[in-house]
Structure 1
Amino acid sequence: MKTSVTIYSKSGFDESLATATLATALLSKGSRIYVEFLSNTLSSPVVINSSYVVGVPPSNNLTIVNSTAILYIPPKNLGVVVKYDDQGKSEVLMRFSNVNSLTNAVLDYVETLNAKVELPEQLLKDVILYNQGQIDKMSKVGKAIAKAVKMNYGLIDFTQKLYTYLLEVIKTRSYKLNPDIAKEAEKYDVALRTFEELLNAKEYIQYGNIKVFVISRQISKEAIKNNYAILKPIAYDILVRLCREDGISMVVLETELGHTLRICLGRRDVSFVNIVSSIRKDLSEKLDISLKGNHVLIKFKNPSESNLDRMLEVVDDIATGIVRT
């Protein structure tokens, strides 16, 4: 009699491939596999019991009990296999060093099950390059996957399609683009062309040589409002593109939890301290401000306050302060 195994994971290229790899291994051992992809933002508590978990650690709304998790820790190039007991207490069972992806960690784990899964070499290279942000070095198929993932990040239906596609790639060892992925990748190219048109039409806010690009349905600019859905997934790309050109850039983005502000600091004369100190105290007290690399993320502590006008007040304080420096 076949045993039933449920695997939980989340959206993403590496997560989907790692899940497909584990599923293939367990199928080869005679198990019946069920896969559930979790939303990246859990709005209500979820308890995972007696399952595998791939790439998803416990969080405020996620409890894992009686289960085995396979996790990847990028800064340490470390893969870990963690066992959770009936109280959710964790114990590290295995560590895999010098791994560059969650998929690599899963491949190491399945060997301990006396199972062997062979992935196309280029596919494995692509997922590592994807994790490293080196999209330009990926294969043609890999680039298409990266574009499709970006345009559909967090969408469960697409993640299921990607998982099914990768499962077939592993089964056939034929790493070719399928129509569904190609169609979604084309949306990314359309989004970039749309941004270029808006940039040329100067559909942004200008402070000196600083461009502030707003992606929101609350903005009065019809060209932005009408293209909100296609621009939202490429907000990060827009931020980096403008930063590369001008040395500093800002993107205001409407999200499910209100508006956020991302700032790219590419100029040596503008620091994180400059950003924080330029915001008036009564406003800064209401904000969460974080720094990762040379990128600043600003959001309101209370999402109900995070409408476009309020975030533009933050933009005005910061941009005016920078222009004066």
Structure 2
Amino acid sequence: MILFVYAVLVFLVLRFCVTLFNFLSNPKLGYYSKHFSEKVSIIVLTSTVKQDVENLLTSIAEQDYEHTEVFVQHLESISELVNQTTGKYLLFLSPSTTVHFGLINNLMYRMKVFNLAVLSLIPTFKASGFIANCIYPLNDFLLLNLLPLRLVRLSSFSAFTAGSNDCLFFDATIYKQYKWHEKLHPKALEATEIIKLAKQQRLKAEVLLANKFVYNTVDVKDTASFSMRLLMNFSNNNLAALMYLTLVIVGPVIVSFDFNPALIILPIGLIFLSRVMIAFLTAQNPLLQVLLHPLQMIMLFGLMLRGIWGHIALSIKPKK
């Protein structure tokens, strides 16, 4: 038992160090006051015919960048759609997002300065309602607890990989040359896998927090896909996800009942500081995130188990 307690505490300290690194390195898209004129092709892929894209299109129209062309397509082969574009850059956006003033200029500045092939933004979530606030901050919590985001660009190791399908920005020439989507799925973009492929091909990739330049308005009803998104933080590794749940959720419960009460201050303090730092990084209410932490961990446990079960079901499903 004492070894398990030590493992829980060591893992908690390591997670805090990752969060602290993210907080100090501040991996956000900045406002750079630069203006460009290269053409950008904006592609919105909808999952259903009736999916509402009006808010997104309105936000694109209100951008300060005029050199764009916009494609909205339902379940079209990405390869065929990309061949219709004429922009020097490709911007893929999810229909659930809205973009804000300065986004495209800032993306292009980042691409040019660091000679990037692909840049992915983790959107700022707009969650309304009690249940949504218990669920949707969990993805940011996992990401910033597990991965130093700056190392995605600074390290050549493919293990340091993350990404969001909600906002992907590509150099169009490189994208058309490598056709990464065709190696994964002809009608889908998987940001994490694309960034991993880019790094394997010695190309530069980066993942940043959107810093309010991209918002995602979440749907609390779609918990199934969100469960799978959570699992992607572990590269869809069921064993790694189970170990994380054991050390992060089951472990602290056991420690609280079987540990010196005087030393409980350490894990509580680390958890408190972690939630505050993550809240500031992701433009969430720090006090609310601290108060909701116990409920969020219960939600995380259930959603992760659902995601693991769904992944197992997909892997054993017979192929047609």
Instruction: Compare CA radii of gyration and give the structure with the larger one.
Output: 1
Higher relative contact order (CA 8 A, sep 6+): 2
TM-score with structure 2 setting the length: 0.27
Q: Larger strand proportion, structure 1 or 2?
A: 1
- When normalised by structure 1's length, the TM-score is 0.27
Higher share of residues assigned helix: 2
